[in-house]
Amino acid sequence: MAQVKKKQGKVPGIFINRRWCKRCGICVELCPKKVFTTDTLGNPVVKRPESCVWCELCELRCPDLALKLEGE
């Protein structure tokens, strides 16, 4: 049975490697909790990490492996 990691009470570290990120916006669009926003250049920015529910969509769907969740 899948566990809801949020129950552990942790706020994840969400790290974006700027050198690898191509600013496709997939993470921003896919996140069900609107954790990300974008800056004026289109870079994804972690805005609400406390809202993260650890669905891992952002990490799994980033085509450039530029996004990493930590704290699991």
Distance CA 18, CA 72 (A): 22
Distance CA 18, CA 45 (A): 10
In the shown chain, the binding pattern of residues 2 to 41 toward ligand SF4, with x for contact by CB under 6 A and - for none, equals: ------------x-x----xxxxxxx--xxxx-x------
Q: Which member of 64, 70, 71, 72 binds ligand SF4 (CB under 6 A)? A: 64
Q: Is 70 in the site for ligand SF4 (CB under 6 A)?
A: no
Structure tokens at 37: 């926003």
- CB 27, min distance to ligand SF4, A: 3
Residues in the chain: 72
